[in-house]
Amino acid sequence: MRHTPALLALLAATPAAPAQDVKRDIPYADKAHERQVLDVYSPKGAKNLPVVFWIHGGGWQTGDKKDVQLKPQAFTDRGFVFVATNYRLLPAVDMGTIVRDVAKAARWVHDHAAEHGGDPKRIVVMGHSAGAQLAALLCTDDRYLKAEGLSLAVVKGCVPVDGDTFDVPAIIATAEARWKAHGLPPAKFGHREKFGNDPARHTDFSAVTHVAKGKGIPPFLVLHVAGHPDVTAQAVRLGNVLKDAGVPVTVFGARETTHTKINADLGRADDPATKALFEFLDAALKK
């Protein structure tokens, strides 16, 4: 295929993306299930760089670590190692097993970060949608990391992106009131069922339940779609609880976007949420 002079000039003027080392489908558990694997993206020659640990969304039922859009290149360009993990899914396993899978993956990241140019003492936990709930819970309910021999001290920041389940009882009450008010049938497999259909479990899987002073909870940046009432309410709720406990927190509502787009756009140079994200990370990693 022949290129026109204009296209050749454009190609010459476009800088090539910096090279990455990519390792895929690394097992993070003994006798690992096919979903207990992760991918690692490192800048060439990486050494002692902070690590982003990314947890995908998908309603705890779908999704995959490969659905990371611009993020690996955006983070490696800025001097991060980027790790994206899979985990087992509903309904094959329960919610507790999913959280324990994520904690086990975090343990692998801590133990093996240096082999990929990362710093095991500077990990940032991020996730979108269902992954936002998992990220926030991992960074507030320290029992999961403690079960893996870690503490919250290794986590330097937490960035849940457009989650609606930081307070699970609240979102269940909101959804069920909406159905009743409009005479709609309830969801067959809604949040009530996903989280175990037991009010005590709903509370226990809520990040807001576990926020307290003196736990070493890392700084939070809570990103959400400003135009959506449920995620906005949940973001503000989590932000207020963290603030009351003395945890540094920024709640950022992204405008003119959607649940899917806020995730896809993370890493774009002109994206306001991305700008807020890197400003947050610069501050969090200086401490």
Helical pair 95-112 and 130-138, crossing angle rounded to 10 deg: 60
pLDDT in tens, 31-54: 999 999 999 999 999 999 999 999
For the chain, residues with pLDDT lower than 70 are 1-18
Radius of gyration of the chain (CA): 19
Rounded to two decimals, the pTM is 0.94
Q: Where are the domains of the chain?
A: 18-286
* Spatial separation of the C-alpha atoms in residues 147 and 144, rounded to whole Å: 5
How far is 112 from 230, CA to CA, in rounded Å? 38
In this prediction, residue 18 carries a pLDDT of 64
In this prediction, residue 25 carries a pLDDT of: 98
Which CATH number fits the domain 18-286, given the four candidates 3.10.20.30, 3.40.50.1820, 2.40.50.140, 3.40.50.300? 3.40.50.1820
Residue 3 pLDDT: 53
Q: What is the pLDDT of residues 15-24, one digit of tens each?
A: 555 689 999 9
How does DSSP assign 186-228, residue by residue? PPTT-HHHHTTS-HHHHHHT-HHHH--TTS-PPPEEEEEETT-
